[in-house]
Structure 1
Amino acid sequence: MTTRLACANITSVMEDERRKQTEQKLIKSGKEEFLKKGYAKANLRDICKNAGVTTGAFYFSFENKEALLSAILAPVITDYEKMCSTFARREEEDPNTADDNERQMMEYLSEHRTEAIILMEKSAGSRYEKFRPQISQQMQAAFTSYFTKFMGSTPDAELIRILVTMRLQGYMELIKGDYTVEERVRLAREIGIHADAGTTALIKYLKEQKEVYRR
């Protein structure tokens, strides 16, 4: 009886390991397919073929194509949101942590650049297609709050939208570009310095224009 139980346990462990290996093969193949074609045009048969598994094995591991996409993106989104929350608290308590926060975020995005590109540019047709607009809205709210604080009045909403679009596009260029992690971190820091200086100059200009209109 003991021998049978031991054999059953070994078989169960081996089956779990095979299942995990199959899932990892499908996740790897799915990343390549989604990155190349986008979620909407990604072909499930091609994903299975490139992973070296049958469609039956796919459905044993994932309910559908979107479930596979979720397995790829959900962990990254969770990490990203936690990092954003942590960094926001850190910077509020100590603004000098901004550079270190920027470095950590860029290192993480560099490590998960495929997932980031899929999420931001290749997820149309899935539950994640609104993620980029949501990030944009959050950034616009943060920019508006910052400008309002230092201008003493609410900035033009269209100006803020354009500034956020430019900032997002800049970071996507870093993620998509053929750079080393060190190069991305350096460029991100330099972009940040330029953005900070530009923001300060813009706020000064807008305040001056506001005073002109008052006269």
Structure 2
Amino acid sequence: MQEDSPGTLEKIEQAALEEFSEKGFLGASLRQIVKQAGVTTGAFYGYFSSKEALFAAIVEPHARALMGRFMKAQRSFAELPANEKPEHVAVESGSYLHWMVEYICHHRAPVKLLLCRAEGTGYENFIHDMVEVEVESTLQYIQVLRCLGRSVPELDRQLCHILASGMFNAIFEVVIHNLPYEQAMRYVNQLRDFYTAGWLKLMTP
């Protein structure tokens, strides 16, 4: 195979996917990726400037898709009139979670890199960034409830962060362990019911 053939890029990315999946970004060997792909180091640098650029090429489309849809759900809820928010509090999040499970089940390998093998890259705080967005949204929602005249017990940022972190990590655990789609969806629905009930309990005097 010629190193500038159309299949070269695909071979590099496939070799990288396997190497990153096994060893993580920090432990992965660029030399081993090049060897497995059957190309020279010079050919590799014709496509990518570094190991991190290669990692980003694999995970960025999925990071963008997951975060983009998540932020869209957050904006949709934020733009609702205040008096409509209590009855829609779980609608947008439920729609996102269903979409997310389906998306991850169709892109398991690169999403696992994003969620589990990104230490040492700009993606290592991906879940943390989602959690921070969720915390801010939760605190804003509490203020909305109070403006609507509802009595809500004090919930500080640190507690909200712990709860949101637990929720996201639990949901991602379900979808990154190669569970069949139907089982993953069932578990995520049950987790969503569990956390929704918990939040409602905490927000009730």
User: Which category of TM-score, normalised to the shorter sequence, fits these structures?
Assistant: 0.7 to 0.9
Partner of 2:55: 69
Preserved contact between residue 34 and residue 122 of structure 1 (Cα < 8 Å) = yes
SS of the counterpart of 1:61? coil
Residue among 105, 118, 124 paired with 2:119? 124
Partner of 2:175: 175
Residue among 126, 133, 140 paired with 1:138? 133
SS of the counterpart of 1:120? helix
Rounded to whole Å, the distance in 1 between the matches of 2:19 and 2:128 is: 23
Preserved contact between residue 72 and residue 115 of structure 1 (Cα < 8 Å) = yes
Rounded to whole Å, the distance in 1 between the matches of 2:57 and 2:135 is: 29
Preserved contact between residue 34 and residue 118 of structure 1 (Cα < 8 Å) = yes
Residue among 42, 45, 48 paired with 2:28? 42
Deviation at residue 175 of structure 1 after TM alignment: 2.1
Deviation at residue 97 of structure 1 after TM alignment: 5.5
Rounded to whole Å, the distance in 2 between the matches of 1:120 and 1:165 is: 13
How many equivalent pairs are there?
Answer: 191
For residues 101 and 137 of structure 1, do their structure 2 counterparts lie closer, same or farther at Cα, with a shift above 3 Å needed? closer
Give yes or no for the alignment of 1:111 onto 2:106. Answer: yes
Deviation at residue 98 of structure 1 after TM alignment: 4.7
Deviation at residue 157 of structure 1 after TM alignment: 2.1
For residues 167 and 89 of structure 1, do their structure 2 counterparts lie closer, same or farther at Cα, with a shift above 3 Å needed? same
Preserved contact between residue 148 and residue 154 of structure 1 (Cα < 8 Å) = no
User: Given the two structures, how large is their TM-score scaled by the length of structure 1?
Assistant: 0.77
Rounded to whole Å, the distance in 2 between the matches of 1:156 and 1:98 is: 22
SS of the counterpart of 1:38? helix
Deviation at residue 56 of structure 1 after TM alignment: 2.2
For residues 99 and 132 of structure 1, do their structure 2 counterparts lie closer, same or farther at Cα, with a shift above 3 Å needed? closer
Could you list the runs of 5+ residues in structure 1 that have no partner in the other structure? Answer: 1-14, 208-215
Partner amino acid, structure 2, of 1:121: C
User: Given the two structures, how large is their TM-score scaled by the length of structure 2?
Assistant: 0.80
Partner of 1:164: 164
Larger helix percent: 1
Partner amino acid, structure 2, of 1:47: I
Preserved contact between residue 117 and residue 176 of structure 1 (Cα < 8 Å) = yes
Deviation at residue 43 of structure 1 after TM alignment: 0.3
For residues 97 and 148 of structure 1, do their structure 2 counterparts lie closer, same or farther at Cα, with a shift above 3 Å needed? closer
Could you list the runs of 5+ residues in structure 2 that have no partner in the other structure? Answer: 146-150
SS of the counterpart of 2:155? coil
Deviation at residue 179 of structure 1 after TM alignment: 0.6
Partner amino acid, structure 1, of 2:35: K
Partner amino acid, structure 2, of 1:116: V
Rounded to whole Å, the distance in 2 between the matches of 1:173 and 1:132 is: 12
Partner amino acid, structure 1, of 2:177: G
Q: Percent identity?
A: 27
When Rg is computed on C-alpha atoms for both structures, the one with the higher figure is 1
